[in-house]
Amino acid sequence: MAQLWGGRFTKNTDQLVYNFNASISFDQKFYKEDIEGSIAHVVMLAKQGILTNEEKDAIVKGLTEIRQDVESGKLVITDTYEDIHSFVEANLIDRIGDVGKKLHTGRSRNDQVALDMKLYTRHEVLAVDELLKELLSTLLNLMEENIETYMPGFTHLQKAQPITLAHHLGAYFEMFKRDRGRLCDMYHRMNYCPLGSGALAGTTYPLDRNYTASLLGFEGPTLNSMDSVADRDYLIEFLSALSTIMMHLSRFCEEIIIWNSNEYQFVEIDDAYSTGSSIMPQKKNPDIAELVRGKTGRVYGALMSLLTTMKGIPLAYNKDMQEDKELAFDAMDTVKGCLALFTGMIKTMKFRNDVMEKSAMNGFTNATDAADYLVMKGVPFRDAHGIIGKLVLTCIDKGKAIHEMSIEELKEISDVFEPDIYDAISLETCVQKRLTIGGPGPNVMRQVISQAHDYLENDWHSAIQE
């Protein structure tokens, strides 16, 4: 057991208590951020004359070497330390002697851990954003290739009206674009430095918090020391954004699973992204899509867990807050993994344009357009709706699609029908005439695609220096 405290204790910690309390098994994940924060802290302490330059140099050198040794595997983080902060400090003292004991001047583990978690999360926000960007450009490529690939659009999972594959994929483009917007918003909101808040009430040392904040790439220091050590809003916001990303991925996966089914065959998932069955030789299963859909639950779980953990905590720091880490780390890793795999899966997936188009041709996806045809000929819409309803019933009876009915058969239903009906209800016409902004018509789709290119080129993320 190696702890940073003990002076006022007369007994050793019970081993089970020690194990229950320790966080090193998971907070070692941010050893780099811990060291980065400590370096900024001592540089500031030296600038303020709280440490000498020699002391600062010795500490910075020691910390840098610890980071290098952990990276190279020469120094292994073991659970003989309570947490990553103790591990780094104890190692520093081993390396450079008593001057290492000055590292923690004007600092508490409360503002230290608040900083470490923020630095780690900030980096993860950018990593997730990068993966989202890659997914968006993959989608945009597919959209460009499929402006005139017809498919049925569904409501209630029943064929509704014809659309294009570009239009369908474009819906997901918008969703993932909003996800990036959420990351951008929260990044700017969270980007204030808690270091210098001490345990809860600041410190009596003349720290320059503006300087520390600028060394670490923050907009500035946080403005209330109690809030600084007790705030995990930014994590809740991140987990919420991650949950929404998973919800979007999961819906998309659900569609891909349906499209990949034997009944639909709209797509074929690549062999490299499918798995087989141990008993049924014919099987090729969409496991990756199913796993992404399934993993949504654990990300939602992390959000619910942290919201619940935080809801009853009085100001300022309480040990409950140590629970902010494990599930949040898991959620971040899960979402990054899902995004990377999902993008790979759709990049390699084959779209069966012929099957999709055939499917759009039946199921009466042109019934609305047939009604609109009658309206154009002067029939009030409600009457036209009734006439086409009757026509659909007759078609079902005869086992025909609307366009397979002869003009005589059509005229039996309504004498308003003329031979120009066939052109009016063709798949091409149905799609091409849908030219309202946001619709599937190729002309308007091209405009939206060009806006999407502009969006991907003018990136909030590249404006940020890490």
230 alpha-carbon distance from chain centroid: 25
- 35, 115, 151, 321: which one binds ligand ARG (CB under 6 A): 321
CA–CA distance, 351 with 148 (Å, rounded to integer) = 13
**Is 156 a known active-site residue?**
yes
Using the rule CB under 6 A, is 197 a contact of ligand ARG?
Answer: no
Stretch that binds ligand ARG, among 106-114, 138-146, 247-255, 389-397 (CB under 6 A): 106-114
Least Cβ distance, residue 80 to ligand ARG (angstroms): 15
Which residue of this chain has its Cβ atom nearest to ligand ARG in the complex?
322
Whether the Cβ atoms of residue 261 and residue 253 lie closer than 8 Å to each other = no
| Contact flags string 375-414 toward ligand ARG, x per CB under 6 A | ----------------------------------------
Q: Which is catalytic among the residues 156, 278, 406, 462?
A: 156
**Is 277 a known active-site residue?**
yes
In single-letter form, the type of residue at position 124 comes to E
Least Cβ distance, residue 321 to ligand ARG (angstroms): 5
Least Cβ distance, residue 305 to ligand ARG (angstroms): 15
What does residue 442 show for φ and ψ, rounded to 5 degrees? -55, -40
Instruction: Report the residue number, 159 or 232, with the smaller CB distance to ligand ARG.
Output: 232
CA–CA distance, 115 with 118 (Å, rounded to integer) = 5
- 23, 305, 359, 365: which one binds ligand ARG (CB under 6 A): 23
> From the CB of residue 39, how many other CB atoms can be counted at a distance below 10 Å?
19
CA–CA distance, 74 with 76 (Å, rounded to integer) = 6
> What sign does the dihedral 13-15-17-22 (CA atoms) show?
positive
Least Cβ distance, residue 306 to ligand ARG (angstroms): 13
Residues 6+ apart with CB under 8 A from 350: 267, 268, 270
Using the rule CB under 6 A, is 86 a contact of ligand ARG?
Answer: no
Residues 6+ apart with CB under 8 A from 329: 26, 29
Instruction: Report the residue number, 311 or 319, with the smaller CB distance to ligand ARG.
Output: 319
What dihedral angle (degrees, nearest 10) is formed by the CA atoms of 216, 221, 226, 228?
Answer: -40
Least Cβ distance, residue 116 to ligand ARG (angstroms): 8
What pairing do the DSSP bridges indicate for beta strands 220-221 and 192-193?
A: parallel
- From residue 237, give the alpha-carbon distance in Å to each of 193, 244, 357: 17, 11, 41
Q: Which is catalytic among the residues 25, 188, 261, 277?
A: 277
Whether the Cβ atoms of residue 58 and residue 99 lie closer than 8 Å to each other = yes
- 67, 109, 122, 180: which one binds ligand ARG (CB under 6 A): 109
Least Cβ distance, residue 319 to ligand ARG (angstroms): 6
- 99, 113, 241, 338: which one binds ligand ARG (CB under 6 A): 113
Could you list the residues that contact ligand ARG (CB under 6 A)?
A: 23, 27, 83, 109-110, 113, 317, 319, 321-322
Which residues have a catalytic role annotated? 156, 277
